[in-house]
Amino acid sequence: MKVWNLNKLYEGFNDPIFKADLEKIDMMILEINSQEVDFNNYDQKLKKLIRYLTNQIEFSKVSRRLYHFASLTESVESTNQTATKSTNHLRRKFTELTKISTIFTKWVAEYPDLEADIETNPFLKEHEFYLNEIRDYASHLLDDDLEIMIAKLRQTGSSAWGTLQSLLTSTLEVEYDGKIITLSEVRNMAEDPEQKVRQKAYEAELKAYKKIDKAIAAALNSIKGEVNTVSQARGFENPLDQALNNSRMTKATLDAMQSAVKDYYEVFRAYLRRKGELLGHKNGLPFYDLYAPIGKVNKRFTIEEANSYVLKNFRTFSESLYGMANKAFTENWIDYTPRPGKRGGAFCSNLHEIKESRIMTNFTGAFGDMLTLSHELGHAYHGEIIFNESILNSGYTMPVAETASTFCETIVNKAALKDAESDEERIFLLESAIQSYTAVVIDIMSRFIFEKSVFEGRETTVFNAEELNNLMLEAQKETYGDGLDSNCLHPYMWICKPHYYSGGLSYYNFPYTFGLLFAKGLYSKYLEDKDTFVANYDRLLAATGKMKVEDVAKLMNIDVTKKDFWVSSLEILKEDIEEFLKLTK
């Protein structure tokens, strides 16, 4: 099947179980809120704490099941009003717990001898990191009434603006070659073997954005303005400070990584210039050829062929990875192909409540689509490991979220390079990998620079669409340099990337770079000692929901606050680029 099956969640919005669970969370909310009186003092404090955590676990299982069903449905059916209304209804319901959550957090912050109770109670010991994180966050909480108001206003603020961006981009009609196609379809043409097709698609894409750029500019301004206001009120220096806190990552780690990346700009620019030359360009690569295939291998993969290739190579790593992927294919976890109303891009959603994942892609048969499939299955494998943890310990953060996905993508890509039968095929496969590296290192850096400039600018102004275009162009020029043709960039990249449109998740860009480079470092360790690596790797993934990023890395004797580690990972990418330059000389 080309579409996923959500029946393990519910068989539809009219499913009696769906309706019963909606009523159940009302009762659960009442039960949780009834504990407000408990947090006026510390009498029987251990009993109160265990009761609250137990209720949170049960509520999380039911509420996530409901929300995942509605949001997953909406992601592939953006015009499904029942799905949209259900997600909005559930978001409003969740705000009913804002007050008790705030009161509980402040209560935990002052909890007498918390460490002693944790050490003597196995249930609390299991949730030690969760409790300490709550205690540490207490200083960023506002008054109870303000917290409730922010949670409620977000539903008609950033959440609504984010829904608008998703709706407008997923339903945008793009005029291409006398036909009307979707934005996902025209963007997928960036990988077409024919240059004329790529250029026409690029021009059609940019033209189509003019229909929605003013509305989406309003959405971006509103979301970033809200985040600025709330993050400052919470005592964060800026939204980046809050994003790092939410990522369980220090500024030292980010600075070390980005400093190393800047040192390697020229390495990537040399690749881009060579690619431009191979495609007949003299002044750098035009954006419409950024994802052009290089080499004579123009094979397209059917879904069955892609699945088979992924399975064969996952098995070389471990039977557990193979088994998880096989289950995903045979039990219809994946929604593969683009269609009207389906959002662009790809994602994986880990469904702890049923201990399965669901994956959305926009598969068209290109080699890159197979890499995307393996990438998202990596997220699903991370889920398989984390499902063995308490649901309260399952919330891993953005940087480590990209580790397993990038690792799995590397397994498939390395296998394809090994299987290459000629230099032309090797060039094709090698360039496909470098193309991905460039997106995750150079393009992601441009997105970081753009988002930072929008946040800083929103302190004093509101940007119109043209100004946002200019900010994006400047960011691209800073990172791509002369690797791209400065007269043919992508000013509207801020419209098509959903990562900018969340009030609760800012700077969803640098984690991809972290994931790539961290995974490359891990892959090197895997090659050094395959026998012991798999078990250690699984332990690392299991720890991602209950450790800070730096501590997770230490499990593999890696210090991510040091530039040296990031340089060593970038050197691995540099080797591939040098091989490509050698083969195409």
Residue whose C-alpha is closest to residue 156's, from 250, 52, 60, 226? 226
The predicted model gives 99-120 an average pLDDT of 96
The predicted model gives 148-158 an average pLDDT of 92
d(CA 230, CA 541): 32
Q: What is the DSSP letter of 289?
A: G
pLDDT in tens, 318-349: 999 999 999 999 999 999 999 999 988 899 99
CB 583 within 8 A of CB 427: yes
Q: Would the pLDDT of 531 be above 90?
A: no
Higher pLDDT, 300 or 149: 149
pLDDT at residue 417, as a whole number: 85
Residue whose C-alpha is closest to residue 154's, from 225, 216, 69? 225
Q: Would the pLDDT of 297 be above 70?
A: no
Q: What is the DSSP letter of 362?
A: -
Lowest mean pLDDT among 1-15, 69-83, 408-422, 473-487: 408-422
The predicted model gives 64-90 an average pLDDT of 96
Helix axes 265-278, 465-480, angle to 10 degrees: 100
Mean pLDDT of the chain: 95
Domains, the chain, in order of start with CATH, read 16-156 (1.20.140.70), 303-424+510-565 (1.10.1370.40)
pLDDT at residue 327, as a whole number: 97
- Whole-prediction pTM: 0.85
Residue whose C-alpha is closest to residue 188's, from 175, 197, 177, 179? 197
Q: Would the pLDDT of 94 be above 80?
A: yes
pLDDT in tens, 455-468: 999 999 999 999 99
Lookup: tokens for 325: 């992927």
d(CA 240, CA 163): 23
